[in-house]
């Protein structure tokens, strides 16, 4: 987010950039400290994936066929688990009131919060993927393919999940409601994420087509997510 000079943005926008950077720094800091959500997601991801070989059994061929699906499911569930608190914590301690009142547009503040969440909770999942690939008998290329699809696809999970997190604040219901609302939105991401990884491992499809759709889903959610979440938060003012 480079702001070159003062000409391309009106004056009003410059303070916004400082504000957004401050919001991202704060959220990452909270997530990484004791009691923050970042570690919980990664631990959950590790647990799901580590347990899977024991459940499936010692069939190595089956394991490597299921590998991408297991990794993707683990990542999806881990991000659902941590997204729940995205706005709820700020709502409960009154921060959301001040964020709503501030000079920063609520849409940008929502986008900044989602970005911070992805950096703190989504990125570690991708970093952990190569290690877990070993457990699932995935070779280097397959692991790289899964990591790449996760890199392209997890922003979509975060930004669509944000809509559910905002609705959970608006409707004063947490947890389960959010999972129910968000799951249908994450299904396309899951389908194309796994399809792209499978294409590398077993073929016969090309990697490019499902991967492009995955990227498109991420870009669309990047645009729609902040607006939908901000609209929901504004509507639920109370």
Q: Select 113 or 196, whichever has its Cβ closest to another protein.
A: 113
Write down the least CB distance from residue 17 to another protein, Å. 10
Binding mask 21-60 for another protein (x = CB under 8 A): xxx-xx--xx--xxxx------------------------
Residues 96-115 that bind another protein (CB under 8 A): 97-104
Q: Is 10 exposed, middle or buried (0-12, 13-18, 19+ CB in 10 A)?
A: exposed
Contacts of 54 (CB under 8 A, 6+ apart): none
Residue span binding another protein (CB under 8 A) among the ranges 92-100, 124-132, 155-163, 196-204: 92-100
Contacts of 25 (CB under 8 A, 6+ apart): 116
173 binds another protein (CB under 8 A): no
131 binds another protein (CB under 8 A): no
167 binds another protein (CB under 8 A): no
Q: Select 28 or 162, whichever has its Cβ closest to another protein.
A: 28
Write down the least CB distance from residue 176 to another protein, Å. 24
Write down the least CB distance from residue 126 to another protein, Å. 25
Answer whether 152's CB lies under 8 Å from 185's CB.
no
Answer whether 171's CB lies under 8 Å from 142's CB.
no
7 binds another protein (CB under 8 A): no
Q: Select 32 or 46, whichever has its Cβ closest to another protein.
A: 32
237 binds another protein (CB under 8 A): yes
Residue span binding another protein (CB under 8 A) among the ranges 19-27, 38-46, 115-123, 163-171: 19-27
231 binds another protein (CB under 8 A): no
2 binds another protein (CB under 8 A): no
1 binds another protein (CB under 8 A): no
Residue span binding another protein (CB under 8 A) among the ranges 15-23, 119-127, 168-176, 220-228: 15-23
Q: Using CB under 8 A, list all residues that contact another protein.
A: 12, 15-16, 18-19, 21-23, 25-26, 29-30, 33-36, 92-95, 97-104, 237-238
């Amino acid at each position: 987010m480079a702001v070159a000079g003062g000409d391309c943005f009106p004056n009003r926008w410059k303070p916004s950039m400082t504000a957004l950077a401050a919001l991202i720094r704060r959220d990452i800091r909270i997530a990484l400290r004791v009691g923050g959500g970042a570690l919980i997601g990664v631990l959950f991801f590790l647990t799901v994936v580590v347990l899977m070989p024991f459940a499936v059994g010692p069939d190595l061929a089956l394991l490597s066929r299921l590998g991408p699906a297991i990794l993707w499911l683990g990542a999806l569930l881990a991000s659902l688990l941590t997204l729940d608190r995205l706005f709820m914590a700020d709502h409960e301690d009154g921060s959301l009131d001040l964020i709503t009142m501030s000079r920063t547009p609520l849409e940008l503040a929502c986008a900044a919060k989602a970005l911070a969440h992805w950096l703190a909770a989504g990125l570690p999942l991708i970093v952990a993927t190569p290690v877990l690939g070993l457990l699932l008998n995935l070779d280097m290329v397959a692991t790289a393919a899964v990591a790449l699809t996760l890199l392209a696809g997890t922003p979509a999970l975060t930004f669509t999940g944000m809509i559910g997190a905002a609705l959970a604040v608006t409707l004063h219901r947490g947890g389960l409601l959010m999972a129910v609302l968000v799951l249908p939105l994450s299904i396309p991401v899951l389908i194309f994420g796994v399809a792209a990884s499978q294409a590398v491992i077993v073929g016969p499809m090309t990697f490019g087509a499902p991967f492009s759709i995955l990227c498109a889903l991420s870009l669309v959610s990047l645009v729609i997510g902040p607006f939908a979440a901000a609209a929901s938060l504004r509507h639920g003012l109370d």
